[in-house]
């Protein structure tokens, strides 16, 4: 009991620190808070049935949810992943023991976004499969699902437009990260699809604030800027000069020889 | 009375089947377990509760204290089943009937077999709750032995144990028990058990869509080098194919599912259906078109109809038709757990449509492309086309100012490394088949030796004949 009260007090302090926007204190408090949680008996993996097990589990879940949100604000993706992994068991294995959490949709959506940003598409889909039907209906998850579909299709302009329709301000950091990825993608597509583009169009396509920025980006990627137009000439030469993949051919031939020898 | 005689005959047959497999060796070398299974299948049709009870009483004599609990559980369950079916046979009265004829050293295999018979009997009659109890009791009993001769039977009992739990919806509860059993099986080099239990665990995880855990277990778990039973291998391949498909590794998934489809016995309709569904989707996702015959095979055509419609929509690149199919058959896809895969197909539909347009028109405005594909706006279309060009789906260029897409001269395919790559893929496939076939060949333990002996005797005979001929010649010479 005493331990639970102590942990609850620590959580209040932590929440106060977050509310004050004192993130470094919050981070420090969180570490001690997590240590205190390990002393409780009810949270996984022990699952001991104590009279206060319900409160203990609820507290632990809330702490971890806050931890996830804090790590997003701190822009610490590794900590995010760790915290979410710890939290996940409360949404799966202990689901039947607890009432549904309000923050579940948000944290799940954030996690999906993180996987998208880190380009871990396989894990993204694995996570999608685990989600129950009601989670699929939530706005956060649908948002992430749509983003993934647009990215796969190539409808990048929709992804860029989605910046204004975020379900929660907590997504801001991840959306910014996604934007950089998308810009790279658009650049990659453009240099193959267009012969040339006017600087103004390029700026609009890749969402730069000014023409200068666009020109700087073009030079970074080795495009030629001449008379207000961007020429993607550099790419042409490298793709046309198709050379013979001699090393590959040799290794194939050697494999055939070895295998045939084994048969005969 | 006539009934009891009949029962006794069946009992004897069952006992014989249990005690010793028939002597004459069938052409393909069957393991004793497989023989037993084949015999059991024949017997099962003739079995009813009474006969089984008789058999149990005969096989597990009351005098043996160790077998007593199993005996009474089995009999109790059988008598219950019997009463429910309103048969007029008297309830078995337990130990009173026979006492002294206990064979010296009852084989645990016979007991396990009795358990297996009763479990299959109960499962056949859809009495899952009771079958679950019996299977649990059997598992407890099996835990007391460590005999390699029991492995085959134990594996079957594990399977039914998990199956009854699946039918009663309590699959998640037995996960840790299965994991413990798998660990034991690995430590004891029980290859039947390892294979079966690994499959059961994968099935268990996939039942709850836990692809992550399933893949982690699969990649870490030790698998016997050579598959002991083809059905288990087929199942493993299906589960692996499903995991790979979810992880977007479609080529691997296709390989696994294709092998599973080839190795599956023709009679296993349900299994072939599941494989066909996943295979069709994976092929579509790879940009291939599944063969018409595959989706309309005998007995599979009706349940596969949604997938056939899907394949047609994807092939024609018609986005509205695709959405229509996805909506009308949404329930089916969700039940098959393929809903998310179907959602991924949207991209393929667009690609297929674009390719057709690209082939047909040398120059077309993006407005028309959007209209033909059923896309919402020109901006979307421009981005989508740009990505398709980068991914190599189509050969075209865009003109941003004029808002048109114009096809490039199609390059001569034979000037590219494409044919070489296709050739290599085929050669690799053939070599792989050969290696698999060599590995799959099984030899009977003594077969090699016997042949050698005959060769030796043949040589001996040849020598004898030669000597004889020489002698004859000499005789000729003398004369």
Do residues A211 and A110 both lie within one domain?
A: no
Q: How far is A39 from chain B (nearest CA, A)?
A: 25
Q: In what order do the strands lie in the sheet with B404-407?
A: B363-365, B404-407, B396-399
Domain contains B268: yes
Decide if the complex's ipTM is over 0.85: no
- A236 to chain B, any CB pair closer than 8 A? The answer is no
Do residues A50 and A161 both lie within one domain?
A: yes
Do residues B157 and B286 both lie within one domain?
A: no
Do residues B325 and B359 both lie within one domain?
A: no
C-beta separation of A199 from A228 below 8 A: yes
Backbone φ and ψ of B212, nearest 5°:
-60, -55
Range of the domain at B15: 1-96+104-169
Domain contains B443: no
DSSP designation for B91: P
Do residues A50 and A127 both lie within one domain?
A: yes
- A230 to chain B, any CB pair closer than 8 A? The answer is no
Do residues B122 and B238 both lie within one domain?
A: no
- Of A202, A217, A244, the one marking the end of a domain is A202
Do residues B28 and B158 both lie within one domain?
A: yes
Do residues B379 and B277 both lie within one domain?
A: no
- A257 to chain B, any CB pair closer than 8 A? The answer is no
Secondary structure E strands in B349-427:
363-365, 396-399, 404-407
Domain contains B5: yes
Q: For residue B350, which residues of chain A lie inside 8 Å, CB to CB?
A: 153
Do residues B310 and B361 both lie within one domain?
A: no
Interface contact A122-B249, CB threshold 8 A: yes
- Name, in order, each residue with C-beta under 8 angstroms of B448's C-beta and a sequence gap of 6 or more: none
- Bridge partners (DSSP) listed for residue B397: B406
Give the pLDDT of residue B388. Answer: 85
Domain contains B197: no
3-state secondary structure of B291: coil
Do residues B155 and B252 both lie within one domain?
A: no
Cβ-nearest to B248 among A125, A156, A256: A125
3-state secondary structure of A224: strand
Do residues A59 and A175 both lie within one domain?
A: yes
- Of B128, B153, B169, the one marking the end of a domain is B169
Q: How many Cβ atoms sit within 10 Å of the Cβ of residue B426?
A: 10
- Of A202, A223, A238, the one marking the end of a domain is A202
Into how many domains does chain A fold? 2
Do residues A246 and A126 both lie within one domain?
A: no
- Of B154, B169, B184, the one marking the end of a domain is B169
Residues in chain A: 264
- Of B317, B336, B355, the one marking the end of a domain is B336
Interface contact B212-A249, CB threshold 8 A: no
Do residues B246 and B266 both lie within one domain?
A: yes
**How far is the C-alpha of A124 from the C-alpha of A113, rounded, in Å?**
9
Query: Nearest 5 degrees, angle CA A175-CA B376-CA A112?
Result: 25
HSE-up (13 A, CA, CB side) for residue B460: 6
Residues 102-131 of A with CB under 8 A from B: 121-123, 125-130
- Best mutation target among A88, A134, A186, A189 (most B Cβ atoms within 10 Å) is A189
Do residues A123 and A101 both lie within one domain?
A: yes
Q: Which residues of chain A fall below pLDDT 50? A: 236-241
Do residues B87 and B129 both lie within one domain?
A: yes
Interface contact B400-A201, CB threshold 8 A: yes
Interface contact A155-B249, CB threshold 8 A: no
**How far is the C-alpha of B131 from the C-alpha of B310, rounded, in Å?**
40
Do residues A75 and A192 both lie within one domain?
A: yes
Do residues A217 and A118 both lie within one domain?
A: no
Domain contains B183: no
Do residues A173 and A60 both lie within one domain?
A: yes
Do residues A251 and A139 both lie within one domain?
A: no
- Of A202, A222, A242, the one marking the end of a domain is A202
Q: What CATH number is attached to the domain comprising B372?
A: 1.10.10.10
Do residues B5 and B37 both lie within one domain?
A: yes
Q: For residue A126, which residues of chain B lie inside 8 Å, CB to CB?
A: 211-212, 215, 246-247
Domain contains B129: yes
Do residues B22 and B126 both lie within one domain?
A: yes
Q: Which of left, alpha, beta for B303 (phi over 0: left; psi -120 to 50: alpha)?
A: alpha
Range of the domain at A20: 2-202
Into how many domains does chain B fold? 3
Domain contains B123: yes
**How far is the C-alpha of A245 from the C-alpha of B330, rounded, in Å?**
46
3-state secondary structure of A86: helix
Do residues B320 and B394 both lie within one domain?
A: no
**How far is the C-alpha of B247 from the C-alpha of A78, rounded, in Å?**
22
Do residues A119 and A192 both lie within one domain?
A: yes
**How far is the C-alpha of B260 from the C-alpha of B230, rounded, in Å?**
10
Interface contact A126-B401, CB threshold 8 A: no
Q: pLDDT for A7-27, tens place per residue?
A: 888 888 888 888 888 888 888
Q: What CATH number is attached to the domain comprising A117?
A: 1.25.40.990
Do residues A179 and A263 both lie within one domain?
A: no
Q: Which residues of chain B fall below pLDDT 70? A: 1-106, 225-227, 410-411, 442-456, 472-479
- Name, in order, each residue with C-beta under 8 angstroms of B411's C-beta and a sequence gap of 6 or more: B395
């Amino acid at each position: 009991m005493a331990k639970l009260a102590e942990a609850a007090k620590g959580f209040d302090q932590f929440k106060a620190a977050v509310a004050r926007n004192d993130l470094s204190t919050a981070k420090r408090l969180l570490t001690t808070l997590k240590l205190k949680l390990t002393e409780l008996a009810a949270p996984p993996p022990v699952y001991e049935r104590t009279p206060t097990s319900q409160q203990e589990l609820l507290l632990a879940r809330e702490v971890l949810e806050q931890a996830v949100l804090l790590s997003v604000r701190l822009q610490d993706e590794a900590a995010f992943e760790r915290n979410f992994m710890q939290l996940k068991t409360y949404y799966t294995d202990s689901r039947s023991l607890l009432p549904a959490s309000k923050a579940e949709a948000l944290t799940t959506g954030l996690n999906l976004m993180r996987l998208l940003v880190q380009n871990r598409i396989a894990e993204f889909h694995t996570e999608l499969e685990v989600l129950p039907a009601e989670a699929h209906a939530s706005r956060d998850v649908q948002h992430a699902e749509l983003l993934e579909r647009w990215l796969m299709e190539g409808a990048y302009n929709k992804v860029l437009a989605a910046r204004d329709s975020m379900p929660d301000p907590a997504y801001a950091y991840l959306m910014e990260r996604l934007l950089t990825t998308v810009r790279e993608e658009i650049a990659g597509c453009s240099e193959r699809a267009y012969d040339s583009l006017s600087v103004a169009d390029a700026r609009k396509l890749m969402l730069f604030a000014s023409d200068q920025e666009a020109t700087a980006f073009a030079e970074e990627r080795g495009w030629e800027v001449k008379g207000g137009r961007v020429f993607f000439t550099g790419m042409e030469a490298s793709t046309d000069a198709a050379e013979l993949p001699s090393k590959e051919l040799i290794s194939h031939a050697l494999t055939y020889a070895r295998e045939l020898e084994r048969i005969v | 009375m006539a009934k009891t005689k009949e029962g006794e005959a069946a009992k004897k047959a069952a006992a014989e089947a249990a005690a010793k497999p028939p002597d004459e060796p069938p052409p393909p070398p069957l393991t004793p377990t497989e023989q037993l299974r084949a015999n059991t299948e024949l017997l099962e049709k003739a079995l009813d509760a009474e006969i089984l009870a008789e058999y149990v009483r005969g096989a597990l004599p009351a005098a043996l204290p160790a077998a007593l609990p199993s005996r009474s559980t089995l009999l109790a369950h059988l008598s219950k089943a019997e009463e429910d079916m309103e048969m007029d046979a008297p309830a078995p009265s337990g130990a009173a009937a026979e006492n002294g004829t206990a064979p010296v050293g009852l084989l645990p295999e016979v007991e396990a077999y009795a358990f297996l018979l009763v479990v299959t009997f109960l499962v056949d009659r859809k009495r899952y709750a009771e079958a679950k109890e019996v299977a649990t009791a059997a598992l407890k009993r099996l835990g007391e032995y460590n005999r390699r001769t029991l492995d085959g039977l134990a594996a079957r009992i594990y399977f039914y144990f998990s199956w009854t739990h699946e039918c009663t919806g309590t699959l998640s509860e037995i996960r840790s028990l299965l994991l413990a059993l798998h660990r034991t099986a690995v430590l004891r080099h029980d290859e039947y058990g390892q294979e079966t239990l690994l499959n059961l665990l994968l099935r268990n995880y996939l039942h709850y869509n836990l692809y992550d855990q399933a893949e982690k277990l699969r990649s870490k778990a030790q698998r016997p080098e050579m598959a002991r039973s083809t059905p288990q291998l087929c199942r493993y391949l299906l589960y692996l194919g499903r995991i790979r498909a979810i992880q977007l590794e479609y080529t691997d998934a296709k390989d696994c599912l294709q092998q599973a489809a080839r190795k599956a016995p023709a009679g296993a309709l349900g299994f072939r259906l599941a494989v066909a569904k996943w295979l069709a989707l994976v092929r579509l996702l790879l940009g291939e078109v599944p063969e018409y015959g595959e989706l309309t095979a005998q007995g599979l055509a009706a349940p596969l109809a949604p997938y056939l419609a899907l394949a047609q929509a994807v092939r024609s690149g018609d986005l509205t038709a695709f959405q229509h199919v996805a909506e009308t058959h949404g329930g089916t896809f969700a039940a098959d757990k393929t809903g998310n895969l179907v959602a991924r197909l949207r991209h393929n539909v667009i690609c297929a449509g674009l390719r057709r347009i690209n082939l047909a028109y040398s120059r077309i405005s993006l407005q028309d492309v959007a209209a033909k594909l059923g896309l919402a706006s020109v901006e979307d279309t421009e981005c989508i086309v740009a990505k398709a060009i980068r991914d190599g789906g189509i050969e075209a260029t865009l003109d941003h100012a004029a808002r048109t897409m114009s096809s490039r001269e199609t390059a001569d395919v034979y000037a590219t490394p494409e044919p070489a790559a296709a050739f290599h893929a085929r050669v690799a496939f053939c070599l792989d088949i050969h290696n698999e076939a060599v590995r799959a060949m099984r030899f009977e333990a003594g077969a090699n030796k016997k042949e050698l002996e005959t060769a030796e005797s043949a040589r001996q005979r040849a020598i004898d004949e030669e000597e004889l001929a020489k002698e004859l010649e000499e005789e000729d010479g003398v004369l």
